[in-house]
Amino acid sequence: MNQAEASRWLFPLPKSIDILPRANVEEFINDPDLVRGYVKTLATYQDERQRVVAVLEQVETKHDEISELIRDYKQLSERIVNQIKTIQTMYQEFTNLEIDQYRLLSNNFNQEFLITNKLQGMLDTSHAESLAVAKRIQELGDFEMLAEFRDARKKYHLRKEKLNRWGEERVSGVV
């Protein structure tokens, strides 16, 4: 066998094979069991086999890790979907409660309600002040009492007129 024929083989043939007759070399090359046994004894085959086994183990490890990640991802995605559903439900409840709150606020605290109550409260306060001045007639002199009483009643009547105008819708804007 010449160098060109030997180079076409993936495994090196021992140099001692060249001393064998050509028929024995052909028999060796054509017998798969002999070739397989010879190749398995080669150090390069053993090294390559160990390298391939190591690579396969790494691939298997990576495959297991990826499979675990996929399982974790599926669980996490299910959890996220459930949380999204919960958030959507909570948001809908919040929106409904917010609408109810605005409706109640607009019914109970509209401008007319607030102004009417505010003016009515101020009117009641002015009336109480004028009555308090009238009760202190002995403490104050006639002139002082009369001036204070007139001021208190003037304030009372002005506020009462504003309240009446508001009720008749003759007042615009916030008073």
The domain that holds 143 is classified in CATH as 1.10.287
Q: Are residues 95 and 70 in the same domain?
A: yes
- Total residue length of the chain: 175
Q: What's the average model confidence in pLDDT over 129-155?
A: 74
Q: Are residues 65 and 136 in the same domain?
A: no
Structure tokens at 89: 């439900």
Q: Is residue 172 part of a domain?
A: no
The string of DSSP codes covering 15-49 is GGGGGS-HHHHHHHHH-HHHHHHHHHH-HHHHHHH
Q: Is residue 14 part of a domain?
A: yes
Is the pLDDT at 85 greater than 80? The verdict is yes
Is the pLDDT at 63 greater than 90? The verdict is yes
Q: What's the average model confidence in pLDDT over 83-90?
A: 96
Domain boundary among 100, 121, 143: 100
The mean pLDDT of the chain is 79
Q: Is residue 175 part of a domain?
A: no
Considering 4-13, 25-34, 92-101, the range whose residues carry the highest mean pLDDT is 92-101
3-state helix/strand/coil string of 9-20: CCCCCCHHHHHC
Q: Are residues 80 and 17 in the same domain?
A: yes
Q: 174: closest CA among 132, 100, 134, 119? A: 119
Between 9 and 68, the more confident residue is 68
Is the pLDDT at 151 greater than 90? The verdict is no
Full residue range of the structural domain in which residue 36 is found: 3-100
What pLDDT score was predicted for residue 10?
A: 55
What pLDDT score was predicted for residue 7?
A: 43
What pLDDT score was predicted for residue 166?
A: 72
Between 111 and 126, the more confident residue is 126
Structure tokens at 62: 């990576």
Q: What's the average model confidence in pLDDT over 164-173?
A: 68
Q: Measured between alpha carbons, how far is 115 from 108 in angstroms, rounded to an integer?
A: 12
Q: Are residues 154 and 94 in the same domain?
A: no
Domain boundary among 100, 125, 158: 100
What residue type is assigned to position 75 of the chain?
Q
Share of the chain above pLDDT 70, in %: 77
Q: Are residues 55 and 134 in the same domain?
A: no
Q: Are residues 92 and 32 in the same domain?
A: yes
Torsion 62-64-68-71 (CA) sign: positive
Q: Are residues 7 and 84 in the same domain?
A: yes
- Residues with Cβ within 8 Å of 137's Cβ and at least 6 positions away in sequence, in order, are 145
Q: 126: closest CA among 157, 161, 167, 165? A: 157
Confidence band for 97, pLDDT divided at 50, 70 and 90: very high
Residues 115 and 96: beta-carbon distance below 8 Å: no
Angle at 83 between CA 77 and CA 89, to 5 degrees: 140
The number of distinct structural domains making up the chain is: 2
What pLDDT score was predicted for residue 88?
A: 96
Confidence band for 168, pLDDT divided at 50, 70 and 90: confident
Share of the chain above pLDDT 90, in %: 29
Structure tokens at 112: 């007319």
What pLDDT score was predicted for residue 79?
A: 96
